[in-house]
Amino acid sequence: MLTVRVDLSKIKHNISYIKSVTNTEFCAVVKANAYGHGLCEFSKAVEEDVDCFAVATEYEALKLVKSGITKKILVFNYGYPNETMPKNVIPSVFSVEGVEALKGKATEVSIAVNTGMNRFGVSHDNFNKVFEAALKHGLSVHGAYTHFFNESDEESCKRQFDEFKRAIFCIKDSGIKFHCCASNCLVLPREYYLDMVRVGLAMYGYGYRGIVPAMDIYTDIIWTGNVSAGEHIGYGDFVAPKKMKIASVRVGYGDGFRRIKNHYVSVDGVLCPVVGNVCMDVCIIDVSDINCKVGQRVCILGENIDFDDVCVTHSTISHEVLTMINERAERIYVAGQNRIQN
């Protein structure tokens, strides 16, 4: 079956290294099933190494609480449900109305500030109104944050940073946590780090110097066969251009393995192209040039399958490739060569 192998010793190295660079608090961003690494098991494994967590939705936050997570959990895209949130869940607020909706349903909030990305957040001139509304309704303010839309544009980052500082000026000595930098912004000058960094992609080993990827994905062969030139392979109109040996592999678009051209996998270190259309649960590969058998391991990511090449094949960014791996895959956790019970 499709298996995601996560080496927690590499994750812990990444966390330790980034903390040594930033010298700030570390917020582990575990939204979207911890970028494919497994929300609850992953978070429990790193809880002692981080200061808090961040997720996208209250559903993710509640799953973490139910799994035993006790550290604070920031929710970026809070939907204002009717139920009361556990004390360690911190909703983001973007308006006075949002604050009022949380009266009696939360104990702490964090204020998101829109400094130019225009995705969500309060404007700098309305920040104080939201801050005062929170205090009026008995809500502690845990922090305030913004998000840079283009870390490679130094001028736009400075504009956004200045806008954020204008918003928080009146409460800059209040003791609440201020944060601007996500993984992509670790390249910015140290002054941008403020009190805390929110780290997702870099924690998992991608997009920053000095870190190592921690995930391998593999599956197995469930059938082999031979086809003659002109025979159909899989759904649709693909026909074998020549006599071929083929193998069916347990991964399909139902697992996040997309129906695109130029896919390939690795069998015994040999790159094998996918032929025909990817099915929901399996894909078919060309193994004409190798000896293989049913049950043999097939690498989807890791070994000689380069992550950057996979992103190019999918014509997308690393975040999307990682989060395509859904919950149907088995996840195992190791520390070096030792498997950890999960």
Please identify which residue in the block is written with the tokens 């839309």. Answer: 149
Q: Which of 31, 177, 193, 333 is catalytic?
A: 31
Q: Which of 59, 103, 172, 235 is catalytic?
A: 235
Alpha helices, DSSP H only, in the chain?
8-22, 31-35, 39-46, 58-67, 96-101, 127-136, 154-168, 307-314, 318-323
Find, among 263, 255, 278, 246, the residue nearest to 330 by Cα: 255
Rounded distance, CA 302 to CA 266, Å?
A: 9
124: helix, strand or coil: helix
Rounded distance, CA 247 to CA 268, Å?
A: 14
Rounded distance, CA 226 to CA 247, Å?
A: 9
Find, among 61, 54, 185, the residue nearest to 112 by Cα: 54
Check the CA dihedral 315-255-204-70 and report its sign. positive
235 given a catalytic annotation: yes
For residue 234, which amino acid is it?
Answer: G
Chain length of the chain:
342
Q: Indicate the pairing of strand 89-93 with strand 73-75.
A: parallel
Phi and psi torsions of 232, nearest 5°? -75, 150
Rounded distance, CA 54 to CA 60, Å?
A: 9
Find, among 30, 44, 9, 34, the residue nearest to 75 by Cα: 30
192 given a catalytic annotation: no
Q: Indicate the pairing of strand 330-335 with strand 338-340.
A: antiparallel
Rounded distance, CA 215 to CA 33, Å?
A: 14
Residues belonging to the active site: 31, 235
